[in-house]
């Protein structure tokens, strides 16, 4: 029986000052590869709306879609610590709705933690989901689900006043039951203060090096993004050009009839073709 990485192990990593590696991915095939590494945490993020479905924001992705792809990732990586991202309107319509939707991720997809893009109006949601027995990761700093209201995404905590608000918000999230924090697009100095001030693990998504862990999306790590990407995103391979090269080679072989060759074709058993010819006469 495979033993899953637990929240207790991640809390211990923080105590021992061991960095936590996390990655966002959205599909069985990629998660199967992540499962072969020592990365501890997979987040199935609502950025699937952009990475998988081609939308220009995270807003259109649905709860049903998120549950389906999260369950696929769990099947591929049964031992990783799995976090699910609550999509837009899955928790904004009241605590009962929020708890029900969070519970779907647990019962239908086997997650161990629920991520919620959090601000003061949703402290009751953080508390309700936590009180229902689910671990919560409060996502603060840049919150992509607010893009319709803000018009664009920009770094958070870049002034003293903004930094104080963010530190206070982090404290409120923890007081209301958040077990983890995720800081996105936050000034490194502020992230360091939050990480040192509070006892819960803090994961950085473009929030500097001093948090307890880091997260990037798999398409950025693999160099699959053909276009601009955030300042903090780093690619550790360049599979986009290699993928285009492979697809071009496939196209060429199909067009010149060199694929499939004999090696990549099925054949009748010995003597069966001759028998078929006799039957068809």
Name the residues annotated as catalytic.
184
**Residue 195 three-state SS:** helix
The CA distance from 178 to 69, in Å, is: 24
The CA distance from 161 to 241, in Å, is: 44
Ordered alpha helix ranges (H), the chain:
7-15, 28-34, 48-51, 63-76, 95-109, 123-131, 147-150, 160-175, 188-197, 218-221, 239-255, 272-280
Judge residue 28's burial from the number of C-beta atoms within 10 Å of its C-beta, 0-12 exposed, 13-18 middle, 19 or more buried: middle
Which residues, in sequence order, are bridge partners of residue 137?
A: 115, 180
Alpha carbon separation from 186 to 136, 155, 163 (Å, rounded)? 20, 6, 9
The CA distance from 250 to 124, in Å, is: 54
The CA distance from 48 to 83, in Å, is: 14
- Please give the biggest Cα pair distance in the chain: 89
CB-based contacts of 235, cutoff 8 Å, min separation 6 = 220, 221, 222, 223, 225
What six digits make up the tokens of 154? 């920009």
Q: Quick check: 214 and 201 in contact, CB under 8 A? A: no
């Amino acid at each position: 029986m495979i033993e899953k990485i637990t929240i207790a192990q991640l809390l211990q990593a923080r105590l021992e000052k061991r960095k936590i590696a996390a990655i966002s991915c959205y599909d069985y095939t990629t998660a199967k590869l992540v499962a072969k590494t020592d990365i501890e945490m997979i987040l199935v993020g609502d950025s699937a709306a952009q990475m998988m479905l081609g939308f220009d924001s995270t807003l259109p992705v649905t709860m049903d879609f998120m549950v389906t792809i999260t369950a696929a990732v769990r099947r591929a990586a049964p031992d990783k610590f799995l976090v699910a991202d609550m999509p837009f309107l899955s928790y904004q319509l009241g605590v009962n709705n929020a708890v029900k939707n969070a519970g779907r991720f647990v019962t239908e997809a086997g997650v161990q933690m629920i991520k919620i893009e959090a601000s003061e109006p949703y402290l009751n949601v953080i508390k309700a989901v936590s009180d229902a027995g689910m671990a919560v990761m409060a996502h603060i700093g840049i919150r992509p689900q607010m893009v319709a209201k803000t018009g664009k995404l920009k770094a958070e905590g870049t002034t003293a006043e903004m930094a104080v608000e963010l530190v206070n918000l982090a404290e409120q999230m923890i007081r209301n039951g958040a077990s983890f924090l995720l800081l996105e697009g936050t000034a490194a100095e502020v992230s360091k203060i939050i990480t040192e001030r509070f006892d819960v693990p803090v994961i950085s998504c473009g929030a500097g090096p001093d948090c307890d862990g880091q997260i990037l999306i798999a398409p950025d790590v693999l160099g699959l993004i053909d276009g601009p990407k955030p300042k903090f995103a780093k690619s550790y391979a360049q599979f986009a050009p290699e993928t285009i090269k492979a697809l071009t080679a496939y196209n060429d072989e199909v067009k010149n009839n060199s694929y499939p060759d004999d090696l990549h074709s099925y054949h009748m058993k010995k003597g069966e073709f001759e028998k078929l010819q006799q039957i068809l006469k």
